[in-house]
Each structure stands twice: as C-alpha cells, then as structure tokens.
C-alpha cells in the first residue's frame, strides 16, 4: 500500500534529510510544475485530484484556490499561508509531518504558491511546537541554498519568499481569518466574511490558507498524477489520510491509511483494540469538535461523506475514544471548559454562552442540577450552533454536547437530584 | 529605551519579514520574553515605540496570547496539558503531585522563583498522554516516577 505522506517518516523520530527527501522523489513535483505546467494547470490537477482540506472542514482544495484572482489584472502581491497551528484537542498528525519530513511541507507550499502566483508565503506554526520550528527553520535554509526558494526558483520565472512565524498560543488562531489577524500582529479574532481571504486576506491581499497535511499532499499529486492519487483511497474521497487514535487503546498512534478505512480497522487492527479492563463506549472521529459516535458506528468508512451521514464529521481524522470507565458528562465538561476558555470573546453567543454551558455542567456534576437544565443545554446546542456566530468555534463546541445528550442521556440524568418518592441511590 | 541593542536588532529583523512592521509585534514580545522571562510595562512601551504602535495596541496583543507573560514567572514554567486526552489519563493527578512537590497551585510561582505551574491546552501529543512542557522540552507519558526525575533534574531532562 502506497503511503506518500509518511514514506520518509522515521520510526526513531529523527528528521528526514533533504537527501532522504530527494531520493524518494522530493522536489520532482516542483520541477515538473515549474518546467511543464502553468499555474492554472496545477490548480486544475488539484481540483481533479479531489483533495479535500485536511484541517478539519474538508473543503475541496482546488475549489478554494479557484477563487483567487489570476491573470494580468490580479493584484501583484498574493499570499500562501500554511496553517500549522495544530491545536484541536486530540489531534497530533501535523506534528508528525513537520518533525519528520519538513521538506515535504515546504515543497507543498512552493507548488501551491506557484499555482496561485503568490510571491510570499508563511508557515504559521503553533508556539509550542519547538522541535518542528527548529527543523522547519533548517529545512527552509536548505531550500534557499538549493534554489527551491528565493528568486528564480530552479532557474524559472517564479520567485517566492517563505517565512516561519511561530505563534504565541490560543486555539482560535487555527480559524483561518483569525490566523490572518494573528499573522498581522493583531488579536486573533475571526473576520466577518465576505470578503473571503481569497479576495482580501493577509494585509488586504488575496490569500490562501491551507492545512499542513493538505499542502503535504500537493507534491505527490503533481509528481505522480491525478489517476495515481485517486487510486489510493477506498472511497469517493480521494487520497490517503493520517488517522490517529488516542485514549485507552493498546497502541495509540498515527497511521497513514487509504481514505475510507473503517473506524473498526483503525481502532482494532492498527491501535490494537482497547486496553485490558476497558470497553469502548463511543468515539469522536476527528478531534474535540466532532460529534460522538457509538460502537454501532465502527463499520462506517472514515471519509468525509460517510461520517457526515451518521451525524458527525471526519474532522482532523484523529479519534478520541470514550471508554466505560470515563464519565461522558465529565468528559464533555472538560471539552466545554476548553472551548469556553479559548473563545476569543469577539461575538456574544460564544463568549457568554460557552461559560454558561460549562457552569450548567459543573452544577449538574456537583448535584446542583435542575431538571430543566438538560433542556437549557439542548437549547444552547441550537443557539450556539451554525449561523449564530462569526466562526465555527462555538458550533464545534456544541457537537460533543449535542451528541452526548443524545447518546449518553442517562449519564446526565443520573446526576439530577431525585424526587424523594423514588428515593433510589443512583451510583 | 528599555530594549538592548541585541533585542532591537532581532525585532527589526523580524519586522523586515512583513510588509507592515507592526505585524512583528508577537515576534517582538517573544524576543523580549526570551531574554527577560516576561514582558513588563516598560517593555510594552519600548516595543510600541520601535514598531510605531501605541502601548495600548501592543498590550491588547500581549494580553491575548497565553504564551506571553505579562507578570513575572519562575525561571522555568511547567505547562501541563489539561485537555481531554491528558485529562482522561491522569493530568489532574500529575498536577496534584507537582503541587505537593513544589508547594504551588496552578497559576502560582514558588517562593524561590524556580517554577511557575500553568495549565495549557492540548499539546498535540495525545498518543503519549499525559504530557507537559517545560521551556522548549515536551515530556511524554508522564507519571509520578517521571515527574520526580524531571523535578530532580531541574526540568533539564531529555524529554
């Protein structure tokens, strides 16, 4: 099975060198793009490949690029930004790509910048990824030395400057318009759209923000072709995906697998199943802001369409497991405290609603809950849901809550004070 | 001027990477903090002067980002992850152990100025939970034995 994204990732955690990367076909995609393809042809290839954004939303990458103004009347300055702000709880896949094979990301950035004719690019890296920062910095320097970056890349007409920006915390920086504000040296609050970043983004110029894993796919699509890329997956969604499992399994880790493998294969075969003494009660398919699914969903293919059909999202593809020794209500409280803390405070439903949700859950767990609190929590799920906020943070925060209320209702109810007549002791 | 020539040079180099020099304010805050441990009001004023911003603009940014410290911290800051996967696998027990060893609660700095203990959001190493970060080192699969060693080594271990 072909694993293009991780073929150079070493088991001992050391970095793939420029030489390692070249020997596996590295920078061949860039050479092909610059010598034989127009920017619009590269855009078309990526569109035809079916690649969907790997940051969590799954938006088709080629379609995203197609909104960038091109041609002679397009602004002279455009930007390509790599979203390396991996902060979705439960997600640890981009770290692997950046620490293990930084040149793959850099080549992806260069080809993507060529495709939209950007003259500057930034890698926006979360501040805590110190090892990735060191390795990316070294790889960028090597890329300049070898004329993969700078003026007239590989003797072509295309020039690109690439800078690494290390951030200073806050989950909201992963939201692409908040990221743009952060890169401009501002508070990371999301922007109202329109205008979309493709028209007016970083410093008011056309800007594309793509996730690290998304960009790491680009060199392979250009080098090995659309048909090869489409042959990698087991579903309508193309390519491979970095899948991860954390929680109480025998071997928590990341694996590159064809898009469309089932959750069962990932959890039981690759992660080795549950640890002794623990049963699977549920799982979040792709990070903290995806709806819980149940063991009955284990045979659902983990692709964008199939996971959507059963009421959740593939998200980042890194699953968090809920086991039978963990209280789902306490788990949801941990998640909602995270989202409440990380709200940027820009819009009211999120800023005021999320702490309210957390407080209701705290009260419930402390035995101070009231019967109507569960209805209030359900009301919050729609009030903080899609369409009421500037960005997806609050709607994302409601996904674990609404699904937990649906699937683990009895766990919530058992914390409610019981009427004296029923009188039972509830464990 | 509160900033050293080396700091000013480093900040100007960062400012050159953006079309507007105020975009380098986060880099500037990090440069100052790396040398001084935290960002004082004087540093905020000096950065504002250097980047053509008001002190209020600089502080609005400094106060937003959790990895910028606007008050003094210990020589080492322990950031323990308390997000969902680490929470599930013992983050709070680790926090209690650290608190007992160092006599400080989350958010506090010890009297000797050695350690500050702070929670942090998911550090992106959930397959090795629970994890914590001290300075630029991340420590994986942390249990009490590991914590004892880390604290005995003074947070200088090999992560």
Task: Compute the average pLDDT of residues B50-62.
Answer: 98
pLDDT tens track for A314-344: 999 999 999 999 999 999 999 999 999 999 9
* Burial letters A297-324, b for 16+ CB under 10 A, else e: bbebbbbbebbeeeebbbbbbbbbbbbe
What SS3 string covers A294-339? CHHHCCCECCHHHHHHCCCCCCCCEEEEEECCCCHHHHHHHHHHHH
Residue B157 falls inside a structural domain: no
ipTM: 0.96
Residue B81 falls inside a structural domain: yes
Task: Compute the average pLDDT of residues B59-64.
Answer: 98
Q: Residue B85 and residue A171: Cβ atoms within 8 Å?
A: no
Confidence of residue B156 (pLDDT cuts 50, 70, 90): low
Whether residue B97 lies within 8 A of chain A, CB to CB, comes out as no
Residue B136 falls inside a structural domain: yes
The nearest alpha carbon in chain A to B29 belongs to: A168
Euclidean distance between CA atoms A133 and A121, whole angstroms: 16
Question: What residues of B are in contact with residue A334 (Cβ under 8 Å)?
Answer: 82-84, 87
Q: Residue B84 and residue A288: Cβ atoms within 8 Å?
A: yes
Confidence of residue B153 (pLDDT cuts 50, 70, 90): confident
Confidence of residue B116 (pLDDT cuts 50, 70, 90): very high
Q: Are residues B96 and B148 in the same domain?
A: yes
Q: Is the pLDDT of residue B80 over 70?
A: yes
Q: Are residues B87 and B130 in the same domain?
A: yes
Task: Compute the average pLDDT of residues A205-212.
Answer: 98
Q: Is the pLDDT of residue B155 over 70?
A: no
Which of residues 278 through 307 in chain A touch B, CB cutoff 8 A? 288
Which of residues 34 through 63 in chain B touch A, CB cutoff 8 A? 51, 60-61
- Cβ–Cβ < 8 Å for A349, A389: yes
pLDDT tens track for A20-43: 999 999 999 999 999 999 999 999
Predicted pLDDT of residue B159: 44
pLDDT tens track for A100-157: 999 999 999 999 999 999 999 999 999 999 999 999 999 999 999 999 999 999 999 9
Q: Are residues B15 and B41 in the same domain?
A: yes
Euclidean distance between CA atoms B69 and B48, whole angstroms: 17
The CATH number for B48's domain is 1.10.10
- Cβ–Cβ < 8 Å for A100, A330: no
Angle at B146 between CA B143 and CA B149, to 5 degrees: 150
pTM of the shown model: 0.96
Q: Are residues B55 and B109 in the same domain?
A: no
Q: Residue B123 and residue A128: Cβ atoms within 8 Å?
A: yes
Q: Are residues B41 and B93 in the same domain?
A: no
Chain B interface test: which of A83, A118, A128 (most B C-beta within 10 Å): A128
The nearest alpha carbon in chain B to A250 belongs to: B127
Q: Are residues B37 and B87 in the same domain?
A: no
pLDDT tens track for A276-307: 999 999 999 999 999 999 999 999 999 999 99
Whether residue A182 lies within 8 A of chain B, CB to CB, comes out as yes
Q: Residue A168 and residue B24: Cβ atoms within 8 Å?
A: no
Q: How far is B84 from chain A (nearest CA, A)?
A: 6
Q: Which of A227, A250, A315, A292 is nearest to A49 (CA)?
A: A227
Question: What residues of B are in contact with residue A89 (Cβ under 8 Å)?
Answer: 83-85, 121-122, 126
The nearest alpha carbon in chain A to B122 belongs to: A89
Whether residue A174 lies within 8 A of chain B, CB to CB, comes out as no
Confidence of residue B2 (pLDDT cuts 50, 70, 90): confident
pLDDT tens track for A384-420: 999 999 999 999 999 999 999 999 999 999 999 887 6
The nearest alpha carbon in chain B to A253 belongs to: B127
Whether residue A204 lies within 8 A of chain B, CB to CB, comes out as no
Residue B11 falls inside a structural domain: yes
Residue B71 falls inside a structural domain: no
Whether residue B1 lies within 8 A of chain A, CB to CB, comes out as no
Q: How far is CA B17 from CA A129, A162, B47, in A?
A: 21, 9, 17
Q: Are residues B109 and B56 in the same domain?
A: no
DSSP symbol at A52: B
The CATH number for B126's domain is 3.40.30.10
Q: Are residues B80 and B51 in the same domain?
A: no
- Look at chain B and report how many structural domains it folds into: 2
Of the residues B13, B33, B62, the one at which a domain ends: B62
Q: H-helix or E-strand containing A60?
A: none
Predicted pLDDT of residue B149: 95
Q: Are residues B101 and B145 in the same domain?
A: yes
Q: Residue B27 and residue A165: Cβ atoms within 8 Å?
A: yes
Q: Strand B132-134 relative to strand B76-81: parallel, antiparallel, unpaired?
A: antiparallel
> Residue A51: CA atoms inside 13 Å, Cβ hemisphere, count?
32
Q: What is the DSSP string of A200-239?
A: S-GGGS-EEEEEHHHHHHHHHHHHH-HHHHHTT-SSSS-S
Describe chain A by its helix, strand, coil percentages, rounded to 5. 45, 15, 40
Size of interface A-B (CB pairs under 8 A): 132
Task: Compute the average pLDDT of residues B29-58.
Answer: 97
Predicted pLDDT of residue B1: 57
Residue B146 falls inside a structural domain: yes
**H runs (alpha helix) in A72-125:** 93-100, 102-116
> Residue A123: CA atoms inside 13 Å, Cβ hemisphere, count?
32
Predicted pLDDT of residue A426: 55
Put the strands of the sheet holding A240-246 in their side by side order. A253-258, A240-246, A318-323, A280-284
Q: Are residues B90 and B45 in the same domain?
A: no
Question: What residues of B are in contact with residue A182 (Cβ under 8 Å)?
Answer: 26
Predicted pLDDT of residue A424: 56
Range of the domain at B20: 5-62
Euclidean distance between CA atoms B65 and A120, whole angstroms: 25
Q: Are residues B97 and B119 in the same domain?
A: yes
The nearest alpha carbon in chain A to B22 belongs to: A185
Partnered with residue A274 across adjacent β-strands are: A249
Euclidean distance between CA atoms A191 and A179, whole angstroms: 10
Residue B102 falls inside a structural domain: yes
Q: How far is A107 from chain B (nearest CA, A)?
A: 20
Q: Residue A170 and residue B20: Cβ atoms within 8 Å?
A: no
pLDDT tens track for A263-279: 999 999 999 999 999 99
Q: How far is CA A392 from CA A86, A178, A351, A388, B117, in A?
A: 16, 11, 13, 10, 31
Whether residue B73 lies within 8 A of chain A, CB to CB, comes out as no
Confidence of residue A421 (pLDDT cuts 50, 70, 90): low
Handedness of CA B72, B76, B80, B81 (dihedral sign): positive
Facing residue for B67 by CB, picked from A169, A185, A187: A169
Q: How far is B85 from chain A (nearest CA, A)?
A: 6
The nearest alpha carbon in chain A to B26 belongs to: A185
Q: Tell me the average pLDDT of chain A.
A: 96
pLDDT tens track for A349-362: 999 999 999 999 99
pLDDT tens track for A216-245: 999 999 999 999 999 999 999 999 999 999
Predicted pLDDT of residue B77: 97
Q: How far is CA A264 from CA A272, A297, B91, in A?
A: 10, 9, 28
Q: Is the pLDDT of residue A257 over 70?
A: yes
Q: How many CB atoms lie within 10 A of CB A107?
A: 29
Euclidean distance between CA atoms B10 and A152, whole angstroms: 28
Whether residue B13 lies within 8 A of chain A, CB to CB, comes out as no
Predicted pLDDT of residue A1: 75
Q: Strand A318-323 relative to strand A280-284: parallel, antiparallel, unpaired?
A: antiparallel
Question: What residues of B are in contact with residue A338 (Cβ under 8 Å)?
Answer: 83-84, 121-122
For chain A, list the domains and their CATH numbers: 4-230 (3.40.50.11540), 240-323 (3.10.20.600), 328-413 (1.20.1440.230)
Q: Is the pLDDT of residue B158 over 50?
A: no
Predicted pLDDT of residue A425: 55
Q: Is the pLDDT of residue B87 over 90?
A: yes
Q: Are residues B140 and B84 in the same domain?
A: yes
Phi, psi of B119 (to 5 degrees): -75, 155
Residue B67 falls inside a structural domain: no
């Amino acid at each position: 099975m072909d694993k293009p994204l991780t073929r150079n990732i070493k088991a001992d955690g050391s970095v793939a060198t420029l030489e390692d990367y070249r020997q596996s076909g590295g920078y061949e995609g860039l050479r092909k793009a610059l010598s034989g393809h127009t920017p619009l042809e590269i855009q078309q290839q990526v569109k035809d490949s079916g690649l969907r954004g790997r940051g969590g939303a799954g938006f088709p990458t080629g379609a995203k690029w197609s909104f960038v103004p091109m041609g002679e009347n397009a602004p002279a300055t455009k930007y390509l930004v790599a979203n390396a702000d991996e902060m979705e709880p439960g997600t640890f896949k981009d770290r692997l790509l950046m620490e293990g094979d930084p040149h793959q990301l850099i080549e992806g950035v260069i080809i993507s910048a060529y495709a939209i004719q950007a003259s500057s690019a930034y890698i926006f890296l979360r501040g805590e990824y110190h090892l990735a920062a060191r390795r990316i910095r070294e790889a960028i320097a090597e890329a300049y030395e070898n004329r993969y970056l700078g003026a007239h890349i590989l003797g072509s007409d295309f020039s690109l400057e690439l800078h690494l920006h290390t951030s200073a915390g806050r989950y909201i920086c992963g939201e692409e318009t908040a990221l743009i504000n952060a890169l401009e040296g501002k508070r990371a609050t999301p922007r109202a759209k329109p205008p979309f970043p493709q028209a007016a983004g970083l410093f008011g110029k056309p800007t594309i923000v793509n996730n690290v894993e998304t960009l790491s796919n680009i060199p392979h699509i250009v080098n090995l072709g659309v048909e090869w890329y489409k042959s990698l997956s087991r579903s309508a969604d193309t390519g491979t995906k970095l899948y991860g499992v954390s929680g109480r399994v025998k071997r928590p880790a990341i694996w590159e697998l064809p898009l469309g493998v089932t959750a069962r294969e990932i959890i039981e075969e690759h992660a080795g199943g549950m640890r002794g003494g623990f049963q699977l009660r549920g799982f979040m398919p792709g990070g903290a802001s995806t709806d819980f699914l149940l063991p009955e969903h284990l045979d659902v293919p983990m692709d964008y369409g199939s996971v959507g059909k059963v009421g959740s999202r593939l998200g980042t593809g890194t699953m968090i497991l809920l086991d039978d020794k963990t209280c789902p209500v306490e788990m949801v409280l941990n998640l909602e405290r995270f989202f409440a803390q990380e709200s940027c405070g820009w819009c009211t439903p999120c800023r005021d609603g999320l702490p309210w949700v957390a407080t209701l859950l705290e009260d419930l767990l402390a035995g101070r809950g009231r019967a109507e609190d569960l209805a209030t929590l359900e009301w919050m799920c729609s009030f903080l849901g899609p369409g009421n906020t500037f960005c997806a943070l609050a709607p994302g925060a409601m996904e674990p809550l609404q699904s937990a209320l649906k699937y683990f209702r009895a766990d919530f109810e058992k914390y409610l004070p019981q009427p004296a007549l029923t009188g039972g002791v509830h464990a | 001027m509160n900033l050293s020539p080396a700091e000013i040079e480093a900040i100007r180099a960062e400012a050159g990477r953006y079309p507007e020099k105020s975009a380098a304010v986060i880099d500037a805050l990090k440069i100052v903090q790396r040398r001084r441990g935290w960002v004082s009001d004087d540093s905020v004023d000096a950065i504002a002067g250097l980047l053509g911003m008001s002190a209020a603009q600089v502080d609005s940014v400094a106060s937003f980002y959790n990895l910028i410290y606007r008050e003094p911290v210990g020589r080492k800051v322990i950031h323990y992850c308390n997000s969902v996967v680490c929470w599930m696998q013992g983050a709070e027990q680790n926090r209690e152990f650290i608190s007992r060893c160092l006599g400080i609660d989350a958010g506090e700095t010890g009297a000797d100025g050695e350690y500050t203990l702070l929670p942090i959001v998911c550090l992106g190493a959930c397959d090795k939970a629970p994890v914590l970060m001290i300075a630029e080192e991340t420590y994986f699969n942390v249990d009490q034995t590991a914590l004892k060693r880390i604290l005995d080594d003074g947070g200088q271990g090999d992560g």
